[in-house]
Structure 1
């Protein structure tokens, strides 16, 4: 174990009671599209992006702001963003 990382570096670590929230805000209408998922991988993030795409009319432009988390830098996510 590393100093200051109590129990999170073991082989049997589980995220008991934690979840990942993905959220999108429509600034004009004040509507929020949100999804809670068990994991925070690129697969879940792409699923969330697809859900957001279904709620946004084709006539509207979507602006995506991402942090530097690894799931957002995955080649499949970058490809999804390039296609849309």
Structure 2
């Protein structure tokens, strides 16, 4: 079979063998219940509450080009030098309110439970006092330290779906 014949078959059936997606099957016996809790919060948020999807992006390279970027011109793409200067790394903390698209964010030098606690305090300050806060998180170790659990117990308006953050 010729290469062009194979290409025609791939195009006809929308096949892209060079693309690969990955997935992971949870072994958590409560996974379905946890998914229902989280999805339920997003689809039908409680009255007088804010649902925030919280995540961190750590180890962001803080880079700067060694020469000024040359602007795009008609028929000429933007140009930048190939080399760069390292300014270390940083961590971005963000909380997305899915119903409004509002984002509460903070940039921190490190990515430990102390920085996560500081971000929870930022969330607490930025959400109006009359609202409960439902925080949807992954199971990162910094979310489950004794210090974080203790802080959450002292701030009961911040809640997490079952399994997203087991503070209670």
Shorter-chain TM band:
0.7 to 0.9
Give the unaligned 5+ runs of structure 2: 1-86, 156-168
| In structure 2, distance between residues paired with 1:66 and 1:81 | 13
Paired residue secondary structure (2:89): coil
Aligned residue among 27, 30, 44 for 2:115: 44
Matches within 5 A, 1:43-62: 43-62=114-133
| In structure 2, distance between residues paired with 1:57 and 1:44 | 22
Paired residue secondary structure (1:62): strand
What is the RMSD of the two structures over their aligned residues, measured on CA atoms? 1.4
Question: Structure 1-normalised TM-score?
Answer: 0.72
Aligned residue among 136, 139, 146 for 1:75: 146
Larger Rg: 2
Match of 2:96 in 1: 25
Cα drift, residue 19 of structure 1: 1.8
| In structure 2, distance between residues paired with 1:66 and 1:29 | 18
Paired residue secondary structure (1:63): strand
Task: Report the structure, 1 or 2, having the larger strand content.
Answer: 2
Give the unaligned 5+ runs of structure 1: 1-15
Question: Structure 2-normalised TM-score?
Answer: 0.38
| In structure 2, distance between residues paired with 1:29 and 1:79 | 30
| In structure 1, distance between residues paired with 2:142 and 2:149 | 10
